Homo-oligomer: A and B are copies of this chain.
Amino acid sequence: MSEYTLYCFAQSGNAYKAALTLELAGADWTPRFVDFFNGETRAPAYREINVMGEVPILEHQGRRYSQSGVILDYLTEALGKFGPLDAEERREILRWWLFDNHKFTSFTATLRYLRNFAPATPSAVVETFRARAEGAWKVLNAHLSNREWVVGQRLTSADLSLCGYVYFADEIGVDWNDYPAIRDWSQRIAALPRWKHPYDLMPGHPLPAKGA
């Protein structure tokens, strides 16, 4: 049995944040596939595990943790990697986790979900999320325009949170060349040893054909 178990599925950028952290650190971990597209996270058994009904969940030493930011907080401490150096960095990382959950990942993930997995969505709804996502992309692009990493001068859990969905550019419908600082930063992360795309790191890709 592996040391860490991560409830996840390939299409979840929020799960990717934790999976990539484990993988980059060389941790001993196993994915536990969650059948999101067939409703597993809405089922009572799953809600018993996580009242919020979300992926990812991390299991370690008999305990469970949910919310990607909490998992990143726990993992950086347990693994001794990618965490803050002092209280000031800890708050700066927290600041970017919150911005990521509130806007960057939230709008990007929803835009990508609606475009790819909810084709009946009215275009006004899709465009609302696109406009909000673009606002968030501009903020991160401005922040990264004169720095290599989101906090400090090395990869931290702030980067690992914000990069959750950026490798789905085609599915989001964004060309990161229009946000060159995000493009360069995402390539910097992708050049790290052991990096993998979410579809290569977690189970469930590609989705079964409809009716299969």
Contact = CB atoms under 8 A, between A and B. Distances in A.
A103 to B, nearest CB: 8
Contacts of A23: none
Contacts of A68: 98
In the assembly, how many copies of this chain are there? Answer: 2
A128 B106 CA distance: 14
A106 B102 contact: yes
**What's the dominant secondary structure at chain A's contact region?**
helix
Given A101-B102, A102-B102, A125-B125, A70 B51 contact: no
B70 A91 contact: yes
A15 to B, nearest CB: 14
Interface residues of A, number: 29
Interface in A100-154: 101-102, 105-106, 122, 124-125, 128, 139, 142-143
A128 B126 CA distance: 10
A52 B97 CA distance: 12
